[in-house]
A and B are shown apart, each in its own frame.
Chain A
Amino acid sequence: MQKKALRKRLWKNKIFYLFVLPALLIITIFKYYPFLTSIYQSGFRWNGANVHMFIGLENYKELMGDKAFWTSIFNIIKICIGTIVINLTFPFLAAEVVTNLKGARKQNFFKMGFIVPMVVPGMVVTLLWKWILAGDYGVLNMLLRAIGLESLTKPWLATSSTALWAILAINFPWIAGLPFLLYLAGKQSISGDLYEAAELEGAGTLQKIRYIDLPLLSSQRKLVVTYMLIQAFQMFDQPFVLTSGGPGMSTLTPALHIYQRAFNYNQFGYSAAIGVVLFLVVVCVTIVNQKLLKESENMG
């Protein structure tokens, strides 16, 4: 009887199954299927064409001893931490500055000013900073020379001790980005009564930021941390275009490592293995991140 009812419900909804079919198809073909084949292919020595030999866990063993892999992991940890620190401070301060201006028109002018650069394509920004950070005729070096700090000039992207930090410096002062919008939206949602009450108690601007905004914007900060972590972990464009991972391996990221192994060395099986390991890393980081954020919530 129940079976019959279920069948009836299935039949009644047949049109809706047709509606979800395209979504299921495209996600299965371009997400799930490659995902599963990457696990399968990670067991092969494979050049993407004629050489295709099952080697079990050999790729994973090689990976554990692959110095480039560990360097890329170490680099991406630095990039993630740097990105998170940058985005928890600069855009927040800018949002505070803008919202503390008097007058709606003045506020809107500055808000828009910081929002417009967000829609400039990331690659344009990267290429613009390639010029700023370049060696002899880089803008930064010319600026240093102009103010008499010639001794500090260096080819920022071609020096292994500075290349990674130079990439992180792109987009300085790092305001024009999603975090700025999130902080702004967060501040708008804080009731004006709170600020008035604080003013009656004699609180100044800094105290209002310290005792009202900082605690009440914690959910925005969590979103910023999660979002920036995911963004930073995938970094590919900047090192690919600016340094090709160099000098040495100083700016090699996991995404770039996967790319190079597959398309420069034709090691498709090995590349797939890196992908599988990184997937596990992402899952672990996500779980730990969620746990940490939840705990900080419990603590207030």
Chain B
Amino acid sequence: MKSKKVTLEVVVSVIAAILLFVTFYPFFMLLCGSLKDKMQLIENPWFFDLPMHFGNYRVAGSQILWPLFNSLVITAGGILLTLAISGLAAYAIAHSDMPGKSIIYFYIISLLMVPGFVILIPQFLVVRDMNLFNTYLGQILPPTANNVAMGVMLMTSFFKAIPSSITESAKVEGCGSVRLFGRIILPLSKPIMATVAITTGLNLWNNYMWPLIITNGQKVVPVIVAITRITASISEGDGPLFAGYVIAALPILVLFSFASKQFIEGITAGAVKG
């Protein structure tokens, strides 16, 4: 009986190890490949190979450092805007008795199930007609409409769970609505703010289709679009391209290592959007 259990544990461990290996190996090859020249990639794609061409990162960096900055601006701006707009709206819906609030809530979240590409063309024309083509704002605002809808949904249920005894006693002591929001609701809401920020941030950082159609040239192009356009000389081959992919993935990986719990909650929250 005991030996049976031990063999089972060995079998399960081996399967887990194989699955993890297959999952990770392509990424490992990408990392190795980012340090190779064309001949090395053809002759030995499987493992690190000498000499290592760190110059690939210089070639890639010169092409995507500015787009990396653009992505940072767009993502940070979008997160701040989403948190502010959806926080205020969710607070009003959860903690007031204003007439029509359920209609307002329904209005905000009901287009959430419409896939973005269905209104791609008219959305493009609206942004173009607002003179926001090829600007940061043009990349931030339309996705923010989506993220706000999701943020309002997540935050409203969170705010509703804050006991009204807390808010009532603050009101009795003469705390106005704005101060109540800033002093009591917000400090209690750090977890949900983190969740919405991460979901929003991942959406904005990873977005490809929208910046593809609403930007032009290098000026405001985000890194996810820029990595599809990296060029290298013939002898360099794809090495610099791979280096660019690694650079584009690094910022989120670094953030993840600092806040993995919040990231996992943020990724999971994305599912309720459906």
Residue ranges of A at the interface with B (Cβ–Cβ < 8 Å):
6, 9-10, 13, 15-17, 19-20, 22-24, 26-27, 29-35, 37-38, 41, 48, 94, 97-98, 100-102, 106, 110, 112-124, 127-129, 131-132, 137, 139, 142, 172-173, 175-176, 178, 181-182, 185, 205, 223, 226-227, 229-231, 233-234, 236-237, 240-241, 254-255, 258-259, 262-263, 268, 271-272, 275-276, 278-279, 282, 286
Contact = CB atoms under 8 A, between A and B. Distances in A.
A100, A112, A127 pick with most chain B CB within 10 angstroms:
A127
A236 B224 CA distance: 14
Contact of A182 (B33, B209, B268): B268
Nearest to A102: B9
Contacts of B152: 23
Given A116-B253, A237-B209, A268-B125, A24 B107 contact: yes
B134 to A, nearest CB: 15
B26 A128 contact: yes
Contact of B45 (A142, A259, A279): A142
Contact of A27 (B30, B111, B115): B111
A137 B237 CA distance: 11
Nearest to A113: B20
Contact-size category for B:
35 or more
Given A100-B12, A182-B271, A23 B125 contact: no
Contacts of A37: 122, 125-126
B228 A127 contact: yes
24 contacts: A20-B108, A23-B152, A27-B108, A27-B148, A30-B142, A30-B145, A31-B145, A33-B126, A34-B123, A35-B111, A37-B126, A38-B119, A117-B24, A119-B263, A122-B206, A175-B19, A181-B267, A234-B117, A240-B209, A241-B228, A258-B117, A262-B120, A262-B121, A268-B121
B88 A23 contact: yes
A209 to B, nearest CB: 12
A297 to B, nearest CB: 17
B238 interface: yes
Contacts of B177: 15-16
B241 interface: yes
Given A15-B177, A176-B23, A275 B119 contact: yes
B245 A124 contact: yes
Contacts of A19: 88-89, 91-92
A22 B249 contact: no
B133 interface: no
Given A20-B92, A241-B228, A230 B253 contact: no
Interface stretch (B47-55, B93-101, B161-169, B188-196): B93-101
B118 A275 contact: yes
Contacts of B20: 110, 113-114
A234 B115 contact: yes
A179 B208 CA distance: 22
B67 to A, nearest CB: 12
A23 to B, nearest CB: 4
B249 A120 contact: yes
A123 B228 contact: yes
Interface string B211-227: 01100000000001001
Given A119-B263, A120-B27, A22 B126 contact: no
B63 interface: no
Contacts, number: 253
Nearest to B212: A240
Given A27-B108, A114-B23, A262-B121, A128 B178 contact: no
Contacts of B202: 119
Interface in B167-185: 177-178
A97 B256 contact: no
B206 A97 contact: no
B209 A255 contact: yes
B274 interface: yes
B232 interface: no
Given A41-B122, A97-B15, A119-B263, A9 B116 contact: no
Contacts of B146: 31
A279 B24 CA distance: 38
Contacts of B249: 120-121, 124
Contacts of B89: 19-20, 22-24
Contact of B122 (A110, A172, A259, A272): A272
Given A16-B96, A131-B238, A255 B117 contact: yes
B234 interface: no
B145 A27 contact: yes
A119 B126 contact: no
Nearest to A107: B16
B57 interface: no
B245 A128 contact: yes
Interface string B107-147: 11001011111111111111100000000000001101110
Contact of B121 (A26, A122, A258): A258
B113 A286 contact: yes
A294 B193 CA distance: 32
Interface string B75-110: 000000000111011011100111101001001100
A176 B85 CA distance: 32
B121 A38 contact: yes
